[in-house]
Amino acid sequence: MTYPATTGEFSGAPGPDPHHERSAVIDLDAIRHNVRRLAAAASPAKVMAVVKADAYGHGAVPVARAAIEAGASWLGVAHISEALALRAAGIDAPLLAWLHTVDSNFGAAVAAGVDIGCSGWELDRIVAAAREQERPARVHLKVDTGLGRNGATLDTWDQLVGEAMDYQDQGLLRVVGIFSHLAVADEPDRPETDQQLAAFREALAVAEDAGVDPEVRHLANTPATLSRPDTHFDLVRAGLGIYGLSPFEGQTSAELGLRPAMTFRTRVSQCKEVPDGQGVSYGLRYHTTGRSTLALIPVGYADGIPRIATGGPVRVAGHTYPVVGRIAMDQMVIDLGDTGPAGAALLGAEAVLFGSGDDGGPTADDWARAAGTINYEIVTRISPRVPRRFINEQDTSGGRHAAALQTGGAA
């Protein structure tokens, strides 16, 4: 599918192209910019670009490629199946998958050179897969330093490390990494991050005593990358930040030097004048308060917009209007007010739910507030009915070194 370059932003002439109906436009230049910003913050630690959940809804393969171009040296996903999809697309960067079930295909991971996170029970299955594939598995041992999800408890840690080292001595695996995950790094004032950091150091000491010599020790997510250099170790695992979103309540993307990469846009699909008191959408929870023009926006919860987010902003022709009435499966309504006949002219106008936020336009943060959730969820839940369109696929920065110099002094 081809598009009229990237000029005129998203306002190409309406046509039969389904991307014109609704699309999530992913700016790969923004992804590269954000990776460089995070790499500068993390340096000398390296960056793992976390591209799980289809790159938080942005499209895993193009994002992974752009992230690597911009200097990410690792990729991270939750599931082995996600890692295999990246390998199938020809991406051969170091790649870690950390969340498994008893049905996960460890054999395929070993065969594809995918690094496997291991919290305990997986170890025997990983070793069985390595025997079957006649190839040592690459393993990152995970310790639970306080989050209470996966990872070995500190009580079982030395046993896990000991067993892994026995297998390493037998040539069945290599302990490539030691890692853990933070619980409250998005709230920098809380004390638990210090406690988790201390527990991680303790776990590292246990591992070193047992002879582990990992290539990478990693703990930090996006908020810790930006606010806690003492958590960086050898590698940071950054997800949200590479999409240009802020993990901190009360700090915007722009304040962090990040550029939101996803613009969710569509076109006004109907405009009509209605009388005072017109009810709007299921349940008739909203009524106009005077003659008004209602504009129909053809996206709804089937496209991933939370039904609860009434009041969320939609930008049309330079103005931002709140959604009125209930959000339905396929559509929502904005009230343009008493525009007279001018309102009718907005049929087909671009309607932006969220984007870069430049020029005061709406953001994923605004929708997160409207829905009582976080920006992570807003972008990640945009559904497959919404075509992804990638812009700025070519990296024109002149390469990594130049880019690092340009962004080295970023705030």
Ligand X SMILES: *Cc1c(COP(=O)(O)O)cnc(C)c1O
Q: Which residue has the tokens 């069985």?
A: 128
Distance CA 239, CA 236 (A): 10
Distance CA 210, CA 13 (A): 65
Told to check if 98 binds ligand X by CB under 6 A, we report yes
Q: Are strands 115-118 and 292-297 parallel, antiparallel or unpaired?
A: unpaired
**Token digits of residue 382:** 């945009």
Indicate which single residue of 50, 75, 204, 207 sits in contact with ligand X (rule: CB under 6 A). Answer: 50
Q: In angstroms, what CA-CA distances link 16 with 20, 113, 279, 295, 368?
A: 8, 42, 32, 21, 32
Distance CA 221, CA 235 (A): 10
Is 272 one of the annotated active-site residues of the chain?
A: no
Cβ proximity of 109 and 84 under 8 Å: yes
| Minimum distance of ligand X from residue 136's CB (angstroms) | 23
Is 282 one of the annotated active-site residues of the chain?
A: yes
Site map for ligand X, 214-253, x if CB under 6 A?
-------xx--------------xxxxx-----x------
Please tell me the chain's helix, strand, coil percentages from 3-state DSSP, rounded to the nearest 5: 35, 20, 40
Distance CA 295, CA 310 (A): 15
Cβ proximity of 291 and 55 under 8 Å: no
Indicate which single residue of 181, 217, 267, 315 sits in contact with ligand X (rule: CB under 6 A). Answer: 181
Amino acid at residue number 198: A
| Minimum distance of ligand X from residue 300's CB (angstroms) | 26
Between 111 and 374, whose beta carbon lies closer to ligand X? Answer: 374
**Active-site residue among 46, 56, 282, 286?**
282
Q: Are strands 286-287 and 292-297 parallel, antiparallel or unpaired?
A: unpaired
Question: CA 309 from chain center: how many Å?
Answer: 20
Between 27 and 186, whose beta carbon lies closer to ligand X? Answer: 186
- Report the site for ligand X in 249-308 (rule: CB under 6 A): none
Q: Look at residue 160 and give its three-state secondary structure.
A: helix
How many residues line the site for ligand X (CB under 6 A)? 12
Told to check if 368 binds ligand X by CB under 6 A, we report no
How many CA atoms lie within 13 Å of 165's alpha carbon, on the beta-carbon side? 16
Cβ proximity of 243 and 58 under 8 Å: yes
Q: What is the DSSP string of 82-100?
A: HHHHHHHTT--S-EEE---
Between 196 and 222, whose beta carbon lies closer to ligand X? Answer: 222
User: Phi/psi of residue 2, each to 5°?
Assistant: -115, 155
- Beta bridge partners, 389, equal 25
Best CA proximity match to 372, nearest among 302, 303, 301, 308:
308
Cβ proximity of 213 and 237 under 8 Å: no
Site map for ligand X, 134-173, x if CB under 6 A?
----------------------------------------
**Token digits of residue 27:** 């700016």
Residues designated as active site: 52, 282
Residues near ligand X, by CB under 6 A: 50, 52, 98, 181, 221-222, 237-241, 247
